Structure 1
Amino acid sequence: MAEENGSSQRKSETTQEVTKEMEADISRYFENASRTIFDEIVSSRKEDFFDVQRGSGSRVPDFELLADQSSEFLKGGSLLGNERLDHSGTNDVHRDVWIPSEQTRKILRSVATSTAGTTFLDRENLTMPGLAVQGDMPNLIKSTVARFLGEDESAQRHVLTASDVTQDERGLRMLIQAGCYKAAINLSGRLLAVYGQGYGKINQSSKHSPHSLQLWYTRLALLTKLRQIDILENESKPFDNLDKPDMYFTFYPELYGTRPGSMASFSFRLLLAEIPMYCGKPKQALDNLYKVLATTNQIIANFSAGFNGDGSRVKINPAEQDDAIRLWKGRRSRILISIVNCAVSMKNYVLGIDILERLCESANWTPEQMDALRASIGRLHLFLGDVVAAEKFLIDIHKKDSGPTVRELIDRGLMAVAHNSFQEAYKCFQAAEALDPSNIALINNMAVCLLYTGQLKTAVHLYESMITRNPVRSLQESILLNVCTSYELHTTHCKQPKLHLLSQLNRYKGDAVDIQCLKLPLN
């Protein structure tokens, strides 16, 4: 009986772990560097409401689609090795499992049966990464403040740099938590140099470890967030699809004995598959993601048959089997979410809807998670211009005795926007903001509605009040771009209020904000 209770408790804990991972990673991928439907809608003209415009001069401020999510990228537990903590109940072998290609499998078998130090591989079978840039990334906010506001104002800036923290993983965490992503990239470069993978080391052989690969994952995730595309593309290329022999534990028998599995985390594998999407190659990213999905499905099938995930005919006990299947099904859901974002970036909304519908049927979601998935389907129907279908997902699902939730009010507001009923939309967003006063995206949506109803001065005042009340959370790139666009629509004398925003950035934010969002003449 005690054993049965223990099994039940372990199953419950594992379910919670996977659910926690799903929530963290769903929000992370919805808040990626490339904008998707889960980030915003931009309206430019009545007949094509959902056409995303990038123009600077005629740009219209953005509606935030996921107004109940904000800036969760890089806050998930998978950075810097925490993926292991999130699944502490899962056997290491099952968590790290991956199915190598036949060529890699042969090389690993050869390494395992040879005397240590006698196996020498061609360069094409080795992973040889290195830094693509020399020196530190500059702090553009500091230099811009000095240029426009003077050295006295620049001296008011107290932001962590790579040299201000411990030169280790703990220092990286501090920089990321402080929003100093450029400084974290700089520190990651220093730490990778210790592994012989610094500047100029691309295509030079070096040893790998789970720690070095986690450093690379953190660095590439930060580069993705900051949209440093050239560096991202060059530094991610040597890893390919993480299938070369030196990416597996068995390549280093002197360190890991016969331990099987991949040294690279699943999160790293997924990020590498997605990177082409951020580099303007969404079709390649889609191909990569479907390959990862195919391997993941095979791993789930192997576990379901009672064997190890890599297909080796070793029986595992039922408790481990349940934990492993649950973990890998959660990972499969993460892949499908990435495929949705990739499909949306290609404007393939039909594929996005199909994947989301499959997701709805593929797991035991909580009511809140199911509502979020269905709401995403509804918003994709809006992109297709099918307002009737969208209403079935955004409105009809909310028939409850209790009052409407924040998400329900947001959905109603978005439906009103689709019908060009901006006053009604404003009321919905205002009601949602009353339930969630700290939600910056909701106030942004209210301000955009005011702009569309000709209340420009009121919209500007709402933005300024929001920033004054909560500068740390309000000074986000998308919000600042909206504010500066509103200033330009409001008056030709908009430089001074923009400089005030620059002063606020200088005092309250790290180094991650793209200074161009203030639309100041930087050249």
Structure 2
Amino acid sequence: MSQKSSEESDNASASTNLGSYFDSSTPTIFDEIVSSSKPDIFATVGSTSKFNMPPGTPSGNIFENDSSFEEPNEYATVNDYHRDAWIPSENTRKILRSIATTSTHGGSQHDRENLTMPGLALAEEMSDPIKEAVTYFLGEEETMNRNVSTLSDVTQDERGLRSLIKEGCYRAAVNLSGRLLAVYGQGYGKINHPSKHTPHSLQLWFTRLSLLTKLRQTEILETESTPFHNLDKPDMYFIFYPELYGTRPGSMASFAFRLLLAEIPMYYGKGKRAIDNLYAILATIKKIINNLENGLSEEGGVAKFNSDEREDSLQLWKARRSRTLVSVVNCALSTKNYILATEVLEQLLNSNEWKKGQAEILNSAIGRIYLSLGDVPAAEKKFSIVQTENPKAEHIKELVDRGLMAVAQNAFQEALKCFKTASELDPSNIMLLNNMAVCLLYTGKLEAAVDLMENMVTVQNPIKSLQEAVLLNMCTLYELHTTHSRQSKLQLLRQLNRYNGDATNIQCLKLTILQKSCVKCLEKKKKKGNR
């Protein structure tokens, strides 16, 4: 085999392997760079987290960069009575009815099987992987350049939790949430031990499980989320605690928490179970909407609110139905069930009178699924529908769509032109720069791709661009570019040390860190050799 053909073979092999790093979890060859490779929550329709959760968490990866699809501001004024409404199962309803008629605390008269008994599965607090890696590779002195908050730097309350999340210190936030939950008797070793619940404690759990999802701590996530089941045990409702809430109806758990728990099985490989969970939620939402349309309360009783309130509640629950369907789409994509994903998206598109921007997002999402399946004409038809009111935004979106179409047809030079023109209109867009680098690679301009990515991470926008997907791409390019890639990777580690919190998965740098036991073995061997 000639040297040229050998090189072509190597390049083809490298390109094949490289695809796994440049594909995202959404069904698009080039998609918006997100901070997690999994579908990510916090801005869920119908409920807003009081802890200002990090952007890009479970639920809505295919839409997460399109904020116009999320909850409109007008839903924030909906009364808590409507926001907290939920229809319990028949068994739970009987128990709650019994408590309401006797005004006796439920915990003293019911079996453990009717109680929700969560607890922490993590005995030790999570450490900062970036600091550990910097110490290992660069030495203690380099850690002096690290300027992020730790658990001991913030107040031990919700304000401290908000601060840690805002700085991207999600592991420290998990640690603080554990301390706060221990106050409720729900700390380590307390799974299957009875304890009282409040809206505040459940909000803490929502925060903690969301962060664990973000950090991809799937084993801990599965263990800690399981005790909540589907949030239908009697102690998840206000009526269970008459001494605290009187006869107040509704669920103490937010709709966002309910949606998160339904999705969680997707993150540990049980996508079908997650879809089943979401359809169970949709069935209840359908009952609530039917009750409201028939002049009843959400639970099916006599309505104690006026027609304006009913209309507001109806709009809220229709929005929640749409948001749940979006979650179904993401779960379907995670299981590669593209038929279900497109069917649900078409159902969404045709079921409501969307604002123009929202309809564009849905059409674009459908088009990208068609692209991933190789159906270019169908994708082109969907992309042609997408036209925005903002001329500049329209031009950028059109260029991105044209670029994606070119990529699907292996026309990388044409795709590069589209992404480059779009980038000139929006220079800070990380997705466009990343796509340009990939196109440069596939057109044989590896060095130019490396230079573009390095400029983005070190000069142009280090804070925004130091994301795992970008870093993994860069390290892959380094390995293709030179056999001496380690120093370049260590420079990226220095950037992470200066700018990022503790949430980054250090494995994206593709550096090998020996376990402490291995280090001790090497030290012993060195000592023996010195003798």
Q: CA distance change for structure 1 residues 136 and 220 in 2, over 3 Å: closer, same or farther?
A: same
The residue matched to 1:113 in structure 2 has which SS? helix
Q: 1:282 aligns with which of 264, 271, 274?
A: 271
The equivalent residue for 2:167 is 178
Please give the per-residue CA displacement for 1:35-56, whole angstroms capped at 9, x wherever unaligned. xxxxxxxxx999xx9xxx8x6x
Residue 318 of structure 2 corresponds to residue 353 of structure 1? no
The equivalent residue for 1:32 is none
Would you say the 8 A contact 2:88–2:232 is kept in 1? yes
The equivalent residue for 1:492 is 483
Residue 28 of structure 2 corresponds to residue 67 of structure 1? no
- AA aligned opposite 1:508: Y
Would you say the 8 A contact 1:62–1:482 is kept in 2? no
Q: Percent identity?
A: 60
TM-score after normalising by structure 1: 0.86
Q: Distance in 2 between matches of 1:213 and 1:455?
A: 52
Q: Distance in 2 between matches of 1:219 and 1:417?
A: 39
Please give the per-residue CA displacement for 1:468-522, whole angstroms capped at 9, x wherever unaligned. 2211111100000000000000010100000000010001100000000000011
Q: Distance in 2 between matches of 1:485 and 1:264?
A: 43
Matches within 5 A, 1:62-211: 62=23, 65-67=30-32, 76=43, 78-80=48-50, 87-117=75-105, 119-211=108-200
Q: Distance in 2 between matches of 1:131 and 1:227?
A: 16
Would you say the 8 A contact 2:34–2:467 is kept in 1? no
- AA aligned opposite 1:471: P
Residue 432 of structure 2 corresponds to residue 442 of structure 1? yes
Would you say the 8 A contact 2:51–2:162 is kept in 1? no
1:73 Cα deviation from its structure 2 partner: 5.6
Q: CA distance change for structure 1 residues 358 and 130 in 2, over 3 Å: closer, same or farther?
A: same
- AA aligned opposite 2:257: F
Q: CA distance change for structure 1 residues 74 and 288 in 2, over 3 Å: closer, same or farther?
A: closer
Residue 350 of structure 2 corresponds to residue 380 of structure 1? no
Please give the per-residue CA displacement for 1:72-128, whole angstroms capped at 9, x wherever unaligned. 966637223679997442121111000000000000011112252474111111000
1:397 Cα deviation from its structure 2 partner: 4.2
Gaps of 5+ in 2: 1-9, 53-70, 515-531
Q: 1:263 aligns with which of 252, 257, 265?
A: 252
Q: Distance in 2 between matches of 1:139 and 1:401?
A: 43
Q: Distance in 2 between matches of 1:402 and 1:74?
A: 30
Q: Distance in 1 between matches of 2:428 and 2:240?
A: 50
Q: Distance in 2 between matches of 1:290 and 1:401?
A: 36
Matches within 5 A, 1:352-501: 352-395=341-384, 397-398=386-387, 402=391, 404-468=394-458, 469-501=460-492
Q: CA distance change for structure 1 residues 272 and 339 in 2, over 3 Å: closer, same or farther?
A: same
Would you say the 8 A contact 2:105–2:241 is kept in 1? no
Q: Distance in 1 between matches of 2:315 and 2:41?
A: 24
Please give the per-residue CA displacement for 1:376-422, whole angstroms capped at 9, x wherever unaligned. 00111122221111110123544999564322221111110001010
The equivalent residue for 1:506 is 497
Q: Distance in 1 between matches of 2:237 and 2:477?
A: 53
- AA aligned opposite 1:447: A
Would you say the 8 A contact 1:67–1:410 is kept in 2? no
Q: CA distance change for structure 1 residues 381 and 183 in 2, over 3 Å: closer, same or farther?
A: same
TM-score after normalising by structure 2: 0.85
The residue matched to 2:200 in structure 1 has which SS? helix
Q: Distance in 2 between matches of 1:384 and 1:459?
A: 27
Q: Distance in 1 between matches of 2:293 and 2:453?
A: 53
Q: Distance in 2 between matches of 1:342 and 1:362?
A: 20
Q: 1:232 aligns with which of 198, 207, 221?
A: 221
- AA aligned opposite 2:512: P
Q: 1:291 aligns with which of 280, 283, 288?
A: 280
Q: CA distance change for structure 1 residues 400 and 412 in 2, over 3 Å: closer, same or farther?
A: farther
Q: Distance in 2 between matches of 1:291 and 1:45?
A: 48
Please give the per-residue CA displacement for 1:362-387, whole angstroms capped at 9, x wherever unaligned. 22322121111101001111222211
1:68 Cα deviation from its structure 2 partner: 8.2
Q: Pick which of 79-88 and 487-496 moved more.
A: 79-88
Would you say the 8 A contact 2:466–2:500 is kept in 1? yes
Q: CA distance change for structure 1 residues 502 and 347 in 2, over 3 Å: closer, same or farther?
A: same
The residue matched to 1:155 in structure 2 has which SS? helix
Would you say the 8 A contact 1:275–1:285 is kept in 2? yes
- AA aligned opposite 2:22: P
Please give the per-residue CA displacement for 1:287-335, whole angstroms capped at 9, x wherever unaligned. 0000001101111111111211011123531100110011111111110
The residue matched to 1:385 in structure 2 has which SS? coil
What is the number of residues matched between the two proteins? 473
Q: Please provide the CA RMSD for this pair.
A: 2.5
Q: Distance in 1 between matches of 2:198 and 2:103?
A: 21
Q: Distance in 2 between matches of 1:247 and 1:298?
A: 20
Q: Distance in 2 between matches of 1:221 and 1:62?
A: 24
Q: Pick which of 158-167 and 71-80 moved more.
A: 71-80
